[in-house]
Amino acid sequence: MEMASSPRSVEEIFKDFNARRTAVLRALTLDVDEFYGLCDPDKDNLCLYGHGNESWEVTLPAEEVPPELPEPALGINFARDGMNRRDWLSLVAVHSDSWLLSVAFYLGARLNRNERKRLFSLINELPTVFEVVTDRKPIKDNKPAADSGSKSRGSTKRSSDGQVKSNPKFPADDGYEEEEDEHSETLCGTCGGNYNADEFWIGCDICERWYHGKCVKITPAKAESIKQYKCPSCSLRRSRP
């Protein structure tokens, strides 16, 4: 398909962006159980597509090279059962935001500078898919399933007896801000990333360093059953003769 048949004006491109965004949001919120079921990890690499008619689809990527449009993240299904459900949905949301932008600016490749600025301004007025899915921007959604595992919002702390203690979520009050400040300088012992209260963290009881749960492959549910957590480095040191 030639570029000439693609939307050309800022308004047409934004309308296409909005329809695709609406479709993706529906998959990740209102139709979340159906979406979750379609992302079977035993199937080949799958992608989430939002179409211009506001419908969504989980399918394999286009076979032609290069494809007609930029492709979304490949293989979102493989992480489905390896992550907390809410964390997985937020990860898919981030990739979907990236894909929606790439499609919009691919279609707007021939726009001039002012038109591109206007397109970005229109897009920027809307909350991102990630903001909606993680409740940073409200959306009417009565399905509690998407909110399972909200416990991972807080960091995991351990007392001397090894029991897991999770800091509760404080969406708006001062306590939440204090928790942010308290850990703002904490870096992950694996990837070096800064502490973020939106992610699950776990502390090593030996070296007392903190880690992203995903970096050491520990989920909040798994952490509940661990009496004393040893990070990969400490486990390696202890196992040497």
0.85 surpassed by pTM: no
Q: Which of 61, 48, 122 is nearest to 91 (CA)?
A: 48
Per-residue pLDDT band for 238 (boundaries 50, 70, 90) equals low
Query: Which of the residue ranges 118-122, 193-197, 211-215, 229-233 has the most confident prediction, judged by mean pLDDT?
Result: 118-122
pLDDT in tens, 50-71: 999 999 999 999 888 888 899 9
What percent of the chain stands above pLDDT 90?
Answer: 45
Residue 4 has pLDDT above 90, yes or no: no
Residue 192, pLDDT > 90, answer: no
Give the domain 151-239 fold. Herpes Virus-1 (3.30.40)
Asked if pLDDT for residue 223 goes beyond 70, the answer is yes
Taking residues 19-38, report their average pLDDT: 96
- Integer Cα distance of 110 and 121 in angstroms: 17
Band of pLDDT at residue 189, cut at 50, 70 and 90: confident
Please, what is the Cα angle at 216 between 211 and 222, to 5 degrees?
100
End-to-end CA distance of the chain: 64
Intervals of CATH 3.30.40.10 along the chain: 151-239
